[in-house]
Amino acid sequence: MNVTGIKPKGAYVIVCGNEKGGSGKTTTIVHLSVALMNAGYRVATIDLDSRQKSFTRYLNNRRDWSKRRHLKLPLPDHFVINQSDADYIYDREQAEIAEFSEVIAQVEKSHDFILIDTPGHDGHLMRLAHSMADTLVTPLNDSFIDFDVLGHVSPDTGEILRLSHYAQTVREARRYRNRADNGLLDWVVVRNRLTQLHSRNKEAMLRSLKQLSMELGCRLAEGISERMIFRELFPMGLTALDELDEGSLGRKPSLAVLPARQEVRALIASLRLPIDELGMQRARARQQWLEKAFKPIDTAGILAE
Ligand SMILES: Nc1ncnc2c1ncn2[C@@H]1O[C@H](COP(=O)(O)OP(=O)(O)O)[C@@H](O)[C@H]1O
Ligand SMILES: [Mg+2]
């Protein structure tokens, strides 16, 4: 049973993406996974960052710690898409896309949510994941260097002069998806590692982000503060949403657990994840789209024209 008692029949896809490394994608996707599992959903997770595999390592640490401390930490059904070692780029891409689509087909009907972590660089799998997402979560450090991945800002007025590469990538993914199955991508930008102090930079960032959100059609979610707790839990695979006490941690938890947990919950609430008939329709449409997307082009038909 989940929080609302309504279960989607098809899986809902959440992707964490930002073409910048270190923005908080992996930390965010781990917290989202635990939140959804705690709420009773069946969660499948996919790590597309085959170089760093931080998501995979986080979950492996969680499994190991759980065994060592005799805890009952929920774990998702996890998959990592490995880099192909084929000689030619085309063959490598095809092999990786085939592996990815196999995993999606395997879990789409058996799980409520599929959560995908992406690498901090452009690539075929990253693009494919973006065009499959129902919700795209883009964590963004509160700095104009990080903002630059989305849009170039005027130094005088703070206005957005033009969109950057990643913003264009998401736009294309959105268009592609919409043409394929009329699906709508809900794009949510989350400010991460916010300082607790009021600053001119913080205000300026917020102004530029509000302008950008109108141009891109993305939403701004509640932000997450810079907190040590988000860094120190990785070796144990724990999150701010787990029960953190001497039994699970091996020491007293810090006082920052409660505010950290509240922030993550506020973020999840602002994602407005659909768990109703609309969500089911989207999942069915996505299945049709996947079937179309991987069908080879019927050249006989074209040549006969
Ligand atoms: N809110 C936060 N407060 C403090 N440290 C954070 C926070 N979010 C992420 N980090 C740390 O920042 C670094 C990058 O985060 P990570 O989730 O690995 O980003 P990405 O997956 O985008 O590369 C990690 O060391 C992580 O522990
Ligand atoms: Mg990462």
CA-CA distance, 143 to 74, in Å (whole number)? 34
pLDDT at residue 297 greater than cutoff 80: no
For range 141-162, the mean pLDDT:
88
At residue 200, the pLDDT reads 84
Sign of the Cα torsion 192, 50, 127, 8 reads negative
pLDDT of residue 47 exceeding 90, the answer is: yes
Please report the pLDDT score of residue 274 as a whole number: 65
The pLDDT tens digits of the residues spanning 249-295 come to 888 888 889 999 999 999 998 888 865 555 456 555 655 665 665 55
- Is 17 touching ligand 1 by the criterion CB < 6 Å? no
Q: What is the mean pLDDT of residues 108-121?
A: 93
Distance of CA 201 to the CA centre of its chain: 26
Reading phi first (left if > 0) and then psi (alpha if -120 to 50, else beta), residue 155 is in alpha
Task: Domain ranges for the chain, please list them.
Answer: 12-294
**Residue 301 Cα to ligand 1 middle (Å):** 50
* Ligand 1 site-directed mutation target among 53, 231, 239, 262, most atoms within 8 Å of CB: 231
CA atoms 47, 49, 50, 51: torsion sign: negative
Query: CA 22 to CA 266: how far, in whole Å?
Result: 22
Atom of ligand 1 nearest to the CA of 226: 3
Ligand nearest to the CA of 55: 2
At residue 7 the predicted structure's pLDDT band, cuts being 50, 70 and 90, is very low
pLDDT for residue 299 is more than 50: no
Q: Per-residue confidence at 224, pLDDT binned at 50, 70, 90?
A: very high
The rounded distance, in Å, linking the Cα atoms of 185 and 134 is 5
CA 160 to CA 151: how far, in whole Å?
6
Question: Is the Cα dihedral 47, 52, 55, 60 positive or negative?
Answer: positive
Which atom of ligand 1 is nearest the CA belonging to 54? 18
Residue 4 — very low, low, confident or very high, per pLDDT cuts 50/70/90?
very low
d(CA 163, ligand 2 centre) in Å: 23
Measured distance between the N- and C-terminal CA atoms of the chain, rounded to whole angstroms: 54
Average pLDDT estimate for 167-172: 93
* Res 126 pLDDT > 50: yes
12-294: CATH topology: Rossmann fold (3.40.50)
**Rounded distance from Cα 141 to ligand 1 centre (Å):** 9
3-state secondary structure of 152: strand
Tell me if 138 CB under 6 Å of ligand 1. no
pLDDT over 70 at 178, yes or no: yes
Q: Which ligand approaches the C-alpha of residue 27 most closely? A: 1
Decide: residue 267, CB within 10 A, 0-12 exposed, 13-18 middle, 19+ buried. Answer: buried
Q: What percent of the chain has pLDDT over 90?
A: 52
Atom of ligand 1 nearest to the CA of 231: 27
Provide the pLDDT for residue 303.
47
196 Cβ contact partners less than 8 Å away, ≥ 6 residues apart: 225, 226
Establish whether residue 224 lines the binding site of ligand 1, counting it when its CB lies within 6 angstroms of any ligand atom. yes
Q: Which of 22-36, 44-58, 149-163 has the lowest mean pLDDT?
A: 149-163
Q: Which residue CA neighbors atom 27 of ligand 1 most closely? A: 231
| Residue 26 in contact with ligand 1 by CB distance below 6 A | yes
Counting from 1 in the atom list of ligand 1, the atom nearest the Cα of 193 is: 1
Q: 189 CA to middle of ligand 1, Å?
A: 15
Euclidean distance between CA atoms 25 and 18, whole angstroms: 7
pLDDT at 199: 81
Which ligand number lies closest to the CA of residue 142?
Answer: 1
Least confident of 20-29, 224-233, 249-258: 249-258
The overall average pLDDT reported for the chain is 85
Q: Whose CA is nearest to atom 17 of ligand 1?
A: 24
Q: What pLDDT digit, counting tens, does each position of 60-91 carry?
A: 999 999 999 999 899 999 999 988 888 998 89
Evaluate if residue 302 carries a pLDDT over 60. Answer: no
What is the band of 179 on the pLDDT scale with cuts at 50, 70, 90?
confident
The atom number, within ligand 1, closest to the CA of 20 reads: 22
Distance of CA 40 to the CA centre of its chain: 19
| Ligand 1 atom 25, closest CA | 231
- At which residue do the structure tokens 């898409």 appear? 81
Please count the other Cβ atoms lying within 10 Å of the Cβ belonging to residue 167. 21
Residue nearest to atom 11 of ligand 1 (CA): 231
Q: Is 175 in the pocket of ligand 1 (CB under 6 A)?
A: no
**What letter represents residue 136's amino acid?**
L
Report how far residue 181's alpha carbon sits from residue 186's, in angstroms, rounded to the nearest whole number: 15
Report the pLDDT value the prediction gives residue 290, as an integer from 0 to 100.
Answer: 58
Q: Does ligand 1 lie within 6 Å of residue 236's CB atom? A: no
Would you say residue 2 has pLDDT above 60? Answer: no
Amino acid letter for position 73:
L
